[in-house]
């Protein structure tokens, strides 16, 4: 699949916008992403993808592969991934970075939903 037709590099082609991305890897020639998108109706969607530096993130994902999410289901998913990551990586600083990214993303989504409700 070309970059022009995947949900990560050209989300607008699918009527999506990327809300945020958490990288659970240590960044050494690899990726381990959870990406959150919002569709035109305002619904949150998410998916995970990982690999070495050879494949492109989400190159094989289709729109129907994205999972619908609420703020609560997204938070539970990200916390579970952080725990798995903590079991894999023993470097506390790496997990602190990831935890900070999760808090920032969830806070931004909360703020956006409050603005929409007002």
Q: Give DSSP secondary structure letters for 55-97.
A: SPTTTT--GGGSEEE-HHHHHHHHHHHHHHHHHH---HHHHHH
Q: What is the mean pLDDT of residues 47-66?
A: 92
Q: Compute how many other C-beta atoms are within 10 angstroms of the C-beta atom of residue 17.
A: 12
Return mean pLDDT, the chain. 89
* The token pair that represents 56 in the structure block: 């492109």
pLDDT in tens, 78-98: 999 998 876 665 567 788 889
pLDDT of residue 54: 86
pLDDT of residue 1: 43
Q: What is the mean pLDDT of residues 17-27?
A: 92
Q: Compute how many other C-beta atoms are within 10 angstroms of the C-beta atom of residue 94.
A: 17
pLDDT of residue 32: 93
The confidence band for 28, taking pLDDT boundaries of 50, 70 and 90, is confident
């Amino acid at each position: 699949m070309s970059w022009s037709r995947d949900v990560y590099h050209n989300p607008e082609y699918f009527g999506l916008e990327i809300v945020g991305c958490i990288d659970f890897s240590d960044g050494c020639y690899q990726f381990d992403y959870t990406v959150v998108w919002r569709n035109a109706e305002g619904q949150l969607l998410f998916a995970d993808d990982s690999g070495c530096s050879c494949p492109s993130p989400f190159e094989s994902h289709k729109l129907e592969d994205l999972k619908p999410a609420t703020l609560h289901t997204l938070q539970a998913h990200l916390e579970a991934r952080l725990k798995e990551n903590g079991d894999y990586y023993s470097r506390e600083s790496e997990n602190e970075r990831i935890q900070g990214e999760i808090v920032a993303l969830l806070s931004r989504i909360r703020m956006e939903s409050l603005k929409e409700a007002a």
